[in-house]
Structure 1
Amino acid sequence: MARAAVLAAGGIVLRQEETPLIAVVRLRKRNEWVLPKGKLDDGETPRDAAEREVLEETGHDVLVHEFLGTLVYESGGRFKAVHYWRMEAGGEPTHELMDDIKAVDWLPLDAAIERLSRGYERAFLENVGPIALESAALAQPARRARIKKQPAPEKRRRQPAVAPPPALPMTDVPLVAGSEGIEAGLPVDTTTLEIMASPIAPPLAQDIAEQDIPAQDIAATEAEPRSDNEIAQSQRINLVQKVRDWLRRAA
């Protein structure tokens, strides 16, 4: 009764440089140079086994691409079927080599074919190696196009600056800052009023606004028209009086 074939999987592993390089590994016991591969574990798919074996034998994480073919040969009185995928390795190794592997070398296609110790692997790489290189070359423009299509991150828009509110109109008279100027009945600088209306002191502007204007002032305004200067002077007097009253209440 014929013995069942041994199933294995591996990769034609490329590293993209100016001249693409292919990985070959050196077995510790037999001192042979071979393509990276290994037997399937129980319940493992050939593709998963190929990725795992390449990681263990080359130390590189890889991207697995298209299936390249199956190499069947006799080994130890049994047939062995090895499925190969094209793979792409990163620039630097990420894992230590397994104990069975003595070294890894990265060579151009012709040099890799010459380095292999077994004739059937040399013949296999002669056939599928050019296909792997051509597929990798065709994939490069598509990859660059995908990277170029990725949207650039949005820049945060700067909030527009908010202009400060205009200062209250003041007449061309000397300004006196401080409460002593208010007590003397002189016009007060608007900056002083803004400080007095800060959260530390009672809101002066609101306090003044809530007070009712005396009825006689309204009646006088309706009885006879006044010039702009007279109206402005009356408003300043009323404002000063209301500030003085507020200061007395706050004392």
Structure 2
Amino acid sequence: MRLASVAPPAGAPARDVQAAGVVCFRPGRRVLVVHRPKYDDWSFPKGKLDPGEHATAAAVREVAEETGLHVRLCLPLASQHYPVGGRPKTVHYWTGRVVGDDDVSRYRPNHEIDEVRWVPADELDDLLSYDYDRVTLAEAVGARRRTRAVVVLRHGKARSRRSWRGEDTRRPLLQRGEEQAEALVPLLAAYGVSRVVSSSSVRCTQSVEPFARTTGWPLETREHLTEEHADAASVAALVDDVLDDAEERCTVLCSHRPVLPWVLDALGVADPALEPGEALVVHLRKGRVVGCERHRPL
């Protein structure tokens, strides 16, 4: 199973330049590459994070800006580290797949990217300009097969039980929790999430409502994900339903700290003790876990 370290959360201070990119595949082991006239080099689409931007969102955005294609992230790859202009630079990479049309023949060249190509992977060693990209390519080829994600989410920061006088299921998010929920929107979108399943408790539904509202995907609530009604058997049945999804959609499951160990056990993943607002992205291929990555969006 492939494991990834946490990409820096949005707004995290960092001494080195932070960037993100995607090694995108299509059938035939073809890889998406771009040419930059300023440097006369061939590389994968990538670019620096905007202020406050999460690395996952930056990776998807950069591919769209440099190639015109919309991609979803698959397995994480090792980050690249090298100096640029006297400063260290870190580039976070994922494998990816195009969502929709992957034709680049209509791409309009510009001063930043003047050519976009799909190139067979076994021809890329000679085309790529940098040795570190060749290392990333070798890793990506081994991780190229399509995966889907189940994102296990702990609800955002909520009001404390001690300060709340109503039913616990009605306990809402604090302002920080609401900010975490908004920050989750581009992160979940980066993995192509199209099914939203949540505990029916308010603090959970509030954590995924911004994503559901922004994308238009329906929000499915489940009592069996609440602290009051969850048990190992009911949670396992729900996870089985997600894994048996005939459309193999990428899914987010939002629940509570006491319930998450049952969710993760049903997925066959160790419990990392997520903090409020944190997400564990579980990558599956044919129902088998092949990678995990942990993200704190804010």
The normalised TM-score by structure 2 is 0.42
Q: RCO greater where, 1 or 2, for CA within 8 Å and sep 6 or more?
A: 2
Higher strand share: 2
* Structure with greater helix share of residues: 1
TM-score by length of 1: 0.50
